Amino acid sequence: MEHELDMIVIGWGKGGKTLAGTMARAGQRVAIVEASARMYGGTCINIGCVPTKALIHDAETRTGNGFDPGYFDTAVQRRDKLTAAMRAKNFSMLDDLDSVMAITGRATFIGPRRLRIQAGEKTMELGAKRIIINTGAVPQVPDLGGVRIGGRIHDSTTLQHAPLPASLVVVGGGYVGTEFASMFAHFGSRVTVLDRGPRALKKEDEDVAAEVLGALGDVGVEVRTGASVQRIEQDAGSARVHYIQDGQTREIEAEAVLIALGRTPATDGLDLAAAGIELTSSGAIKVDEHLRTTAEGVYALGDVNGGPQFTYVSLDDNRIVADAILGTGTRSTADRVAVPSTIFTTPPLARVGLSEEAARARGLEIKVAVKKVAEIAAMPRPKIVGDPRGIIKFVVDANTDLVLGAALMHVDSQEVINLVALAMRQKVTSAALRDSIFTHPSSTEALNEVLGTFSR
């Protein structure tokens, strides 16, 4: 079977599915190809943002203490019900459009803008004026002895459905590792994080990282730094992680191990070379500022193109390509300023822009405002909800008073950071933020006080 289309989207992630709908409503003939029926809607709603935050919410709000596998199972059931509903809605949003052909199958390039798709026992060939690669990323598994995902060794996807482990070792002290460590500790697991660096969360300023690690310690998480994992063994009863720390070989045993060492672009099986599509040295699809690959008419959206691995960045990728096709073609990745992010530890750490360390490394003349949440008089919201932990830190240009970056670790920080990012994009000074009128009691009003405490 051969079909000539206006666009084919490979993968049902945020950017691709949104673009497919936009093009279909504009009168174009579109096919969207997804390898698994369990991934309609993409990583975010099925195995990433939505399900993990649902689990985190249930972990934070449980009333009991200690190890409770039954409560975890109930939380997983709620998670699954939520994702199933969102998956079905995402499928219908495209499948219900007359000009969209939704295909469950695996796509492989067989030439420029031409694909072979294996859909069960059926094979078809599709060609299109434009092809969008939107296959996302997959957890990175290190090349270490005994490390394979299965049994008691997990990645961030499989651990969400594993029996609640009484003990858990997390390999990797980055964003995913600390978020999962916090979540499972709140569910009652005894958690140990092994990080090979001198401290976890190495991209954060030391005072900010210390607040996050302190919150992890409050729920019993032990973080071992300078720990280089050598191999992992497992049997029916446990897993044993062998690592080197301070020049000595050590071992730790647990019911489960989480490998949290980042994610890598998902390009296996696409045969990109057949279409003339090149990769970067890190394995991402090479794109320009308009997300065009090295093959004419082929674009790459989302995590697969090597950009920031956030669903909202994938959504912005969609805006860039939509503008290239239907608009002026002027929108690009260069337009992105002050993109925020959040680690959903308890309380969450949200950040945007430069850290103090990064700003000083660039030789910028800065002033810094920093205060622990518990010491902020004009911020009753965290005290009201019973969690006054955290820190607020701003890095500001000493000459222009413009905000260069901020790190917020407190209740509601995932919301407040969006205001700060908007202020940065609109070039609002720190003084204007300081003197703004905010609702009370809220977490946002902390800016009134914190931004009046600068030091060089």
Question: What pLDDT, on the 0 to 100 scale, is given for residue 3?
Answer: 57
Superfamily of domain 2-138+264-335: FAD/NAD(P)-binding domain (3.50.50.60)
Question: What pLDDT, on the 0 to 100 scale, is given for residue 441?
Answer: 96
For the chain, the domains span 2-138+264-335, 153-261, 341-455
Smallest CA-to-CA distance from 215 within 340, 33, 400, 391 is with 391
* Spatial separation of the C-alpha atoms in residues 396 and 262, rounded to whole Å: 30
Three-state secondary-structure class, residue 419? helix
Question: What pLDDT, on the 0 to 100 scale, is given for residue 146?
Answer: 73
Question: What pLDDT, on the 0 to 100 scale, is given for residue 142?
Answer: 86
DSSP-assigned letters across all residues of 374-416 = GG-TT--HHHHTT----EEEEEEETTT-BEEEEEEESTTHHHH
Pairing mode, strands 190-194 and 349-353: unpaired
Residues identified as active-site: 440
Amino acid identity, position 213: L
Q: Could you report the per-residue pLDDT of 75-100, keeping only the tens digit for each? A: 999 999 999 999 999 999 999 999 99
Dihedral sign, CA of 134, 137, 138, 144? positive
Q: Mean pLDDT, 10 residues at a time, over the chain (456 residues)?
A: 82 96 96 96 95 97 90 97 96 95 96 94 94 96 86 96 96 96 97 95 95 97 96 93 96 97 95 97 97 98 95 97 96 96 97 98 98 96 96 98 98 98 98 97 97 86
Smallest CA-to-CA distance from 309 within 287, 337, 280, 339 is with 339
**Are the C-beta atoms of 71 and 64 separated by less than 8 Å?**
yes
> Angle CA(118)–CA(123)–CA(126) in degrees, nearest 5?
90
Three-state secondary-structure class, residue 31? strand
Tokens of 434: 């300081």
Q: Could you report the per-residue pLDDT of 314-344, keeping only the tens digit for each? A: 999 999 999 999 999 999 999 999 999 999 9
Which contacts (CB < 8 Å, 24+ apart) does range 375-379 have? 376/446, 376/449, 376/450, 377/449, 378/445, 378/446, 378/448, 378/449, 379/410, 379/443, 379/445, 379/446, 379/449
Q: Is the pTM of this model over 0.85?
A: yes
Strand order in the sheet with 190-194: 153-154, 256-259, 167-171, 190-194, 222-224
Instruction: Please indicate whether the domains covering 2-138+264-335 and 153-261 agree at the CATH topology level.
Output: yes
Q: Could you report the per-residue pLDDT of 268-317, keeping only the tens digit for each? A: 999 999 999 999 999 999 999 999 999 999 999 999 999 999 999 999 99
Among 3.30.470.20, 3.40.50.460, 3.30.390.30, 3.40.1110.10, what is the CATH number of 341-455? 3.30.390.30
In the CATH scheme, what architecture does the domain 153-261 have? Answer: 3-Layer(bba) Sandwich (3.50)
Question: What pLDDT, on the 0 to 100 scale, is given for residue 1?
Answer: 45
